Amino acid sequence: MATTQIPQKWDGEADVIVVGGGNSGLPAAMVALDRGAKVMVLEVSGGMASSLAMIAGGTPFAGTDFQRALGIQDSADAMYEEAVATSGGDPELWRAICDNQLATYEWLKSIGAKPALVLLAPGHKVMRSMRFEGHGIGLCQIVQKAAKAKKLDIRYKHRAERLIFDAANNRVIGVRAKHANEVLNFKARKGVVLTTGGFIRNTELIREFGPEYATLVLFSAAHPYG
């Protein structure tokens, strides 16, 4: 996302601005809100346009209570070793994912998600692919319900177009967005979080972090807004 200069006036501000109101953005926003931050979410669609609703298998979680109840021994380290060996990619990113996935599982349960089934997914040595009641659509509904209960400030039909950069202090301080025919500038006092559906459409990032996939035809029907 390109940057722009500091505007003369702001159309709104928050401690944290989250760009993207999907299955990454809303949880990030709710966690920041729970920690005392004033949060604003900018979402280009008119609702939760999340790829989570399209999930066909399950989401891998290692070391869960659900697994233990079934006698399945698993850990973040085991998940990490299998992920790097099978999928390649950046080991540091996989380490971060594996070290934090169990906390994500517990957070989902805390807002009402109920584990229903654990499967053996391709490339895994143990059953860790978790399906929740209602599956992807059900999880989206639970996340939306939790966001509504927390009265999260979500600005729908706001397309974030540029980051606002303070060159003197070398930091991002806001987001420029378009709503209808109006260009708006929102100030972020503490930070901006980008959760806009990954980088499946960004060939430069794919070449950097997953070069083995760079020659594939990449398509995502989950994000029609580009």
Widest Cα–Cα separation across the chain: 61
Is the per-residue pLDDT at 225 higher than 50?
no
Residue of 201, 190, 184 lying closest to 29 (CA atoms): 190
Residue 199 burial by CB count (10 A; 0-12/13-18/19+): exposed, middle or buried?
A: middle
pLDDT digits (tens, 9 = 90+) for 130-186: 999 998 888 999 999 999 999 999 999 999 999 999 999 999 999 999 999 999 999
Q: Is the pTM of this model over 0.85?
A: no
Give the C-alpha separation, 84 to 98, whole Å: 11
- Say what percent of the chain tops pLDDT 70: 91
Locus of tokens 């233990």: 68
pLDDT tens-digit map of 8-38: 899 999 999 999 998 899 999 999 999 999 9
Alpha carbon distance, N-terminus to C-terminus of the chain: 12
pLDDT band at residue 224 using 50, 70 and 90 as cut-offs:
very low
Q: Is the dihedral of CA 64, 67, 68, 69 positive or negative?
A: positive
Give the confidence band of 206 by pLDDT, cuts at 50, 70, 90. Answer: confident
Could you state, in order of their start, the residue ranges of all structural domains in the chain? 52-134
Q: What is the pLDDT of residue 58?
A: 86
**Helical residues (DSSP H) of the chain, grouped into ranges:** 25-34, 65-69, 76-87, 91-110, 135-149, 203-209
DSSP class per residue in 12-56: EEEEEEEE--STTHHHHHHHHHHTT--EEEEESSSS---GGGG--
